[in-house]
Structure formats: C-alpha cells, structure tokens
C-alpha cells in the first residue's frame, strides 16, 4: 500500500481543480446522483399519491439492492468488452454508454407505467433502474481511478461527490417541484408524474454527452486472460445469469420458512427480536449464495465454463489485494468497514431527532437542502484539496476526527432544544465534516485498487464500507429509546475513536515489496 505523505503547494492544488479530467467527473457524478432518488424518496411520493400502501412502498426500496450487491457482477464489467462499442469508444466508455442507455430506458418505462393499474410492472421497471444505476456506478468508479494519477484522486473524488449531490437535488427536490407544477395543485396526476420522469430521462443526456466527450483511460486491459473468443464470453455471461437466477429463486422460496421462524422470536420491537430477524435474513442470503456457488461448481464440473476464468474473475481480486498488502490487509479491511460508522449510525436518527425537538418539516428541509448542500459541497472540495496538499492519510484522519466530533454537537443540540440558529450550525458542521470525510475516503479506496481488477475491487470495498454501519444503524432507534438522544450521540462519537487508531496503524505500516 502506498501512503501518500508528500505535501504540495496551494497553487498546485488550485491547478488540479482546473484539470479537464476533474471537471468531467463533476458531470459524471451528476449522472450517477440522478437515478437513486428516483427509486427512493421521489418514487415513494408518487406511489403514495397513487394511494399505494405504506408497506408496499417500503418493499419498493428493495429495488435498490443492486447498490449493495454490485460487486457480484462487477467482474463482468472488468472482464467483458461491449461488442462493437468497445472498439469505437473503449472498454470503460462503452460500458458507461450502455448503462446510461439502460437508465434512460428504465425511466421512460417508468414514465409509461401506471401504479394504480399494474404495480408489479412498475416494480420491475424500478428494479431495472436500480440495476442500471448500480452498473453505471461501477463503471464511473473504475473510470475515475484509471483516468488519473493517484495524486489527483482526492480532487477527482471531490468533483464526483459534488456532482452526485447536485444530481440528487435535481432528482429529489427538483423532480418534486416539477411534478407539483405540472399537476397544478389538483392532487394526484399520472400525466404530471410521467412527464417528470421523462424530464429526468432527458437530464441523463448530460451524462451521455460527457461519456461521448471524455477520453478512454490509457490503461492496458490485463483482465481478459482466459477469454479467447465469443463462445467464452457467452458462457461466462450464461454462468453468471444461472448463478444470479439461482440466488434470487432460493431467496424467494425461503420466505415462508423465514416467516415461520420469525414467529418463534420475541417481539420485533426489542433488541433480541430484531437481532433474531436479522440473523434469519442473513441465513436466507447465505443459503441462496451457497446454492448459487453450487450451480457454478456444477457448470465448471461439466466444463461449461473454464475454472480458470471463474477463479480469476471472482477470487483474483481477493488474492491480488492480499498479495499486495500482506499483513496490513486485515487492518485495511477493518478501516474500510468502520470508517463511516459514526456518521452513518447517527444519520438514521437525525431527521427524527429534529422532529422530536419540534422543528417544522419545512425548516428541516430548507436548512438541510440549503445550508446542508452548500456545506457538503464545500466539505467535499476541502477534503479533496487536503488530500492533494497533505496526502490522503492525513485527510482521512482529519475527516474521521471531524465526523466524530460533529456528533457531539447533536448531543449539545439535545440540551439546547428548539433553536433554529443552533440547528443551522449543527447541520452545517455535520455536512461539512461528512463532505471532507467522504472525499478523503473515496480517494483512499481508489488508491487500494489494482489496474487488473479496478471495477471489482472498488465495488467490493464500497460494499464492505456500508455493511457494518448499516447493520448497526438498524438498531439506532432502540439505542435512542434506551439511553436518550444526548447519550446516543455521544456514543456514536465514541464509535469513531477506534477508527483513529486504525488510521494511525495503517499509515505507519510499511508496504510489502
């Protein structure tokens, strides 16, 4: 592992921001930020206006599971060139164009749907959008890492995060404003929502234009050693589809068994019940993954697909990572798994906390969308600048300290109570620290990848990054009910202390030769 400790002048930092590659990431980030809210909050408003039940709307959030499991098909992005397009545009740009076309197509399909008549069809379109968007994320991450040197990754990450936030603002507040304008305040209008989603499809044209303008990374493709012809490509894809189909079928077929097992648990409102429910769902997923593994083994056994190809595609990223980082690898993985734990666990309860303090929804929205967005953008660019000026590890440490310390401000707000000025300060500080931490962390994850497995390894790292924090965040409500808000926020700040130790240990560890 290379630990960047070289310092640069602020003039060099300024010049880095003007790099055309950095500017291109701003627009690619916007393209990545648009689809996610069109699956989550914006779609939820549409469905609720169409009088879909809250429980069903909750299930729709599963359409975005592709983001959590994108590492499963990331090896295909590393391995397979897009026929014809790869020759014209290059490996990364061709996949970018395909994924963006899929996103646009999914949005057009959703615009043509009617949740009051065929909710299942709308769910299929939403799942397709989630899969397409996650695929675009895989390619953009790989492109960002490969298109520039390591010393630019902090700035590249900042631009990407800034664009991503702007894209989320367009697809969130912007889409809702447009839908409200088109319905004229008359209540639910299918036509208004259809035109809104078509408008979002048009905005995705920014991403398509960027893909056509940018240049392909000058990185040799060393990942297709065992792909010798079209037959191998098709067999590899068929193997993946068989395994993925098995995973989905087994997971769905075990739903009734999980329900019966859940009935034996204590009430879901207490810690034991929720932990038991989580273990049951984890068991379902493990069983589905094991069955998918058996299918792959069977296809290898009958020589349908070469064993060397599967081994290189799915074990290669792991063995490459441990070979390059040696004993430090476990420390690095621990750091990846815990770096965002303080702000993720706290963040689930933040809006609930504001409401419980008596703040109005409009006050929360305006401050978080106004001051919050501005401070996130400032924080993101500050994190990138710190990474270039002082090195990634120092920026990483700064982000971790600020992320944990900002949680203490929430504990103080719990004592101050309903004070709009103090709320502005707290949200601003929280978003500033989150922006710095995010930019530094993305730059750090980028530095860990190998050129042979860029998409696969980064997708895996980003999945590890959210797994533990998201699991613990599920218990945040119970924590608040048990100890109160002030103690909860102090506890989440304390969760960030071990992270500081991990950063120190990783930074001082020597890289293997």
Is 150 inside a domain boundary?
yes
Q: How many residues would you count in the chain?
A: 513
Is 208 inside a domain boundary?
yes
**Per the structure, how many domains does the chain have?**
3
Give CA–CA dist 485/396, Å, rounded: 28
The residue out of 238, 271, 305 marking a domain boundary is 305
Q: Are 133 and 66 in contact (CB under 8 A)?
A: yes
Phi-psi region of 433 (alpha: psi -120 to 50; beta: other; left: phi over 0): alpha
CA distances to 50, 283, 376 from 502, in Å: 49, 30, 25
Is 445 inside a domain boundary?
yes
Report, as an integer, the average pLDDT of 132-140: 93
Report, as an integer, the average pLDDT of 484-506: 92
Structure tokens at 511: 């890289």
Give CA–CA dist 455/79, Å, rounded: 10
The residue out of 254, 276, 305 marking a domain boundary is 305
pLDDT over 90, % of the chain: 27
Is 366 inside a domain boundary?
yes
Q: Are 13 and 381 in contact (CB under 8 A)?
A: no
Residue 270 banded pLDDT, cuts 50, 70, 90: low
Considering only residues 317 and 41, tell me which one the structure prediction assigns the higher pLDDT.
Answer: 317
- Kindly give, in sequence order, each residue whose CB lies less than 8 Å from that of residue 250, ignoring residues fewer than 6 positions away: 287, 288, 291, 292
Helix, strand and coil in the chain, % to nearest 5: 80, 0, 20
Burial 58-83 (b: 16+ CB within 10 A, else e): eebeebbebbebbbbbbbbbbbbbbe
Is 298 inside a domain boundary?
yes
> Which of the 8 DSSP states describes residue 469?
H
Considering only residues 410 and 221, tell me which one the structure prediction assigns the higher pLDDT.
Answer: 410
Same domain, 491 and 372: yes
The residue out of 179, 213, 247 marking a domain boundary is 213
Same domain, 262 and 344: no
Give ∠ CA 261-264-268 in degrees, rounded to 5. Answer: 95
Same domain, 102 and 156: yes
Same domain, 148 and 180: yes
Tell me: the pLDDT tens digits for 253-268? 887 787 777 666 665 4
Of the ranges 14-18, 35-39, 54-58, 207-211, which is most confident?
207-211
Give CA–CA dist 11/164, Å, rounded: 26
Same domain, 469 and 440: yes
Is 192 inside a domain boundary?
yes
Same domain, 460 and 343: yes
Same domain, 365 and 479: yes
The model carries a pTM of: 0.79
Ranking 106-115, 309-318, 355-364, 421-430 by mean pLDDT, the lowest is 355-364
Is 480 inside a domain boundary?
yes
Same domain, 89 and 163: yes
The Cβ of residue 11 has, within 10 Å, a number of other Cβ atoms equal to 8
The predicted pLDDT at position 119 comes to 87
Structure tokens at 380: 């993101």
Tell me: the pLDDT tens digits for 41-83? 788 888 888 888 876 776 676 676 677 778 888 888 887 888 8
The predicted pLDDT at position 511 comes to 46
Ranking 128-137, 229-238, 326-335, 416-425 by mean pLDDT, the lowest is 229-238
The predicted pLDDT at position 213 comes to 95
Is residue 231 predicted with pLDDT exceeding 90?
no
Same domain, 353 and 461: yes
Tell me: the pLDDT tens digits for 318-344? 888 888 888 889 999 999 999 988 888
pLDDT, averaged across the chain: 83
The predicted pLDDT at position 228 comes to 52
The CATH number given to whatever domain includes residue 81 is 1.20.1250.20
> Which of the 8 DSSP states describes residue 368?
I
Same domain, 393 and 457: yes
Is residue 412 predicted with pLDDT exceeding 90?
yes
Same domain, 91 and 190: yes
The Cβ of residue 144 has, within 10 Å, a number of other Cβ atoms equal to 28
Report, as an integer, the average pLDDT of 23-34: 93
The predicted pLDDT at position 361 comes to 64
Residue 512 banded pLDDT, cuts 50, 70, 90: very low
Domain of 110, in residue numbers: 10-213
Is residue 102 predicted with pLDDT exceeding 60?
yes
Q: What is the DSSP string of 202-223?
A: HHTHHHHHHHHHSPPP-----S
Same domain, 495 and 398: yes
Is residue 21 predicted with pLDDT exceeding 50?
yes
Is 504 inside a domain boundary?
yes
Report, as an integer, the average pLDDT of 449-477: 81
């Amino acid at each position: 592992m290379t630990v960047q400790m070289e310092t640069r002048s602020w003039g060099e930092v300024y010049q880095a921001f003007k790099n055309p590659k950095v500017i291109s990431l701003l627009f690619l980030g916007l393209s990545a930020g648009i689809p996610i809210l069109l699956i989550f909050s914006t779609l939820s408003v549409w469905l609720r206006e169409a009088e879909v039940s809250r429980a069903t709307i909750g299930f729709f959030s599963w359409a975005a599971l592709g983001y959590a499991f994108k590492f499963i098909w990331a090896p295909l992005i590393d391995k397979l060139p897009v026929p014809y397009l790869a020759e014209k545009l290059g490996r990364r740009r061709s996949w970018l164009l395909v994924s963006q076309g899929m996103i646009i197509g999914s949005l057009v399909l959703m615009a043509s749907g009617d949740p009051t008549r065929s909710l299942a069809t709308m769910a299929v379109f939403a799942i397709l959008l989630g899969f397409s968007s996650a695929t675009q994320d895989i390619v953009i991450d790989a492109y960002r890492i490969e298109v520039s040197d390591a010393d630019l990754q902090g700035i590249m990450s900042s631009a990407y995060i800034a664009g991503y936030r702007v894209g989320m603002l367009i697809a969130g507040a912007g889409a809702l404003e447009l839908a409200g304008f088109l319905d004229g305040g008359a209540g639910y209008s299918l036509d208004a929502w259809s035109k809104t989603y078509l408008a979002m499809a048009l905005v995705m044209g920014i991403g398509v234009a960027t893909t056509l303008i940018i240049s392909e990374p000058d990185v040799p493709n060393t990942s297709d050693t065992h792909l010798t012809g079209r037959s191998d490509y098709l067999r590899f894809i068929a193997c993946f589809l068989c395994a993925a189909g098995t995973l989905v079928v087994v997971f769905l077929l075990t739903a009734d068994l999980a329900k019966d097992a859940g009935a034996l648990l204590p009430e879901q409102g207490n810690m034991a019940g929720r932990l038991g429910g989580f273990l049951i769902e984890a068991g379902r997923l493990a069983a589905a993954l094991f069955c998918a593994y058996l299918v792959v083994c069977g296809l290898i056994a009958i020589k349908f697909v070469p064993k060397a190809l599967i081994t290189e595609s799915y074990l290669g990223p792991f063995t490459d990572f441990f070979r390059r980082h040696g004993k430090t690898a476990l420390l690095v993985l621990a750091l990846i798994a815990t770096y965002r734990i303080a702000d993720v666990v706290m963040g689930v309860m933040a809006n609930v906390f504001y409401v419980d303090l008596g703040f109005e929804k409009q006050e929360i929205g305006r401050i978080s969308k106004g001051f919050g967005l501005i401070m996130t953008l400032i924080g993101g660019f500050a994190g990138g600048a710190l990474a270039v000026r002082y090195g990634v590890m120092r920026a990483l440490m700064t982000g971790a300290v600020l992320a944990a310390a900002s949680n203490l401000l929430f504990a103080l707000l719990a004592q101050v109570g309903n004070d709009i000025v103090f709320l502005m300060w707290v949200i601003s500080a929280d978003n500033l620290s989150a922006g710095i931490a995010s930019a530094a962390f993305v730059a750090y994850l980028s530095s860990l990848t190998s050129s042979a497995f860029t998409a696969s390894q980064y997708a895996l790292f980003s999945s590890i990054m959210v797994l533990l924090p998201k699991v613990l965040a599920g218990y945040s409500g119970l924590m608040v009910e048990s100890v109160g808000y002030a103690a909860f926020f102090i506890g989440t700040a304390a969760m960030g202390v071990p992270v500081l130790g991990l950063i120190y240990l990783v930074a001082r560890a020597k890289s293997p030769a």
